[in-house]
Amino acid sequence: MKEAMAIIERIRQVNETHQHLELAVEPWLAEIKPGQSLLARTTTTWDPYLREQWYPVAATKALLTIERPLTTVVSPGQVVNLLGIVGKPYRFRKTLRNVLLLAYNTEPTPLIMMIDMLLKNRVSVTLVLLGDAANYGTTHLPPEVEILKGDHEMNWANRVTTIGWADQVFAVVPQADEPGHFRRLYEMFTQLRADIPQGHLWGIFRPPLPCGIGACSSCLVRVKGEHLAACTQGPAFDLAAVMG
C-alpha cells in the first residue's frame, strides 16, 4: 500500500446525484483496474476517522476520474491524500459475449469502470438499476450500454431473458446488509437459471476498510468456509462460493 497526494483538476456534475472528480495522479495510480479502489482523505484532520473508499470510473496515464455523490464536498485545486491500490481486479471469463451489471438500491459506481473495457472488447453490456438505483441518471454512459430499470422487489422487464443470456454478472447492493441482499439476489438467480456456474455471479462487497491491507480483520467475507479479507481478496466474490 502506497500513499500519494493528488490534485483535483476538474469537477463535473454528471447527473442529479453524482459528480466526477478528475485527479492528476502519479503514473502508478493510473494503473488501477476495474474492481480496485483507493482510500481517500479529503480533510487535513482525522475527522472522519475512516477514509472514504473511492472507485475510479476511468483512468488515463496521468488522470484518474472518480465518481462521488454530490454530497462529497470538494473543490478544484484541492489536494487529496490517497492510499492504494486496494483489492483485486474483477476476473472475467475468457469467452465473454454478454455481461450483466446489476445495482440494487445503491449507485452502480463500482461497476462503471469496466464498461469501456468490455465495449472495446466487443462484449455487450446491460446495466440493470433496481429500486433506489433507478434514480441514477445514465446519460453520461456510452449509448451502447443497454439500461433497464426495475423495482425494489428485483423485478424488471424480460428478467428471465436478461438473466439467461448473461455470461457473467456483477452486482452491488447497499453496504448496510450485503449478506442479506446478496442472498436474496442469489436465490432469485437460482430460481430463474437452471444452474449457476462457478465464476458466473459476483457480488461486490464493500465493508468499511480501516486498514485496507488485510491486517485488522474488519472486512472478512466467508467463502467456502474460509474467511477472506475483502480489502485484499475482494471486492468481488463468487456468490455461489459465498452462499454454498
Minimum separation from the CB atom of position 87 to ligand FES (A): 10
Minimum separation from the CB atom of position 54 to ligand FES (A): 15
- Residue 50 interacts with ligand FES (CB under 6 A)? no
Q: Are the CB atoms for 200 and 240 separated by under 8 Å?
A: yes
Contacting ligand FES (CB under 6 A), which of 23, 123, 219, 221?
Answer: 219
Smaller CB separation from ligand FES, 62 or 215: 215
Site string for ligand FES, 199-218 (x = CB under 6 A): ----------xxxx-xxxxx
Indicate the pairing of strand 2-13 with strand 18-24.
Answer: antiparallel
64-76 per-residue burial string, b: 16 or more CB within 10 A, e: under 16? bbbbbeeebebee
Minimum separation from the CB atom of position 229 to ligand FES (A): 4
Minimum separation from the CB atom of position 154 to ligand FES (A): 29
Minimum separation from the CB atom of position 219 to ligand FES (A): 4
The residues, ordered by sequence, that sit 6+ positions from 87 with a Cβ below 8 Å of its Cβ are: 35, 36, 37, 230, 231, 232, 234, 235
Site string for ligand FES, 220-239 (x = CB under 6 A): ---------x-x--------
Smaller CB separation from ligand FES, 123 or 209: 209
Smaller CB separation from ligand FES, 34 or 234: 234
The contact set with ligand FES (CB under 6 A) reads: 209-212, 214-219, 229, 231
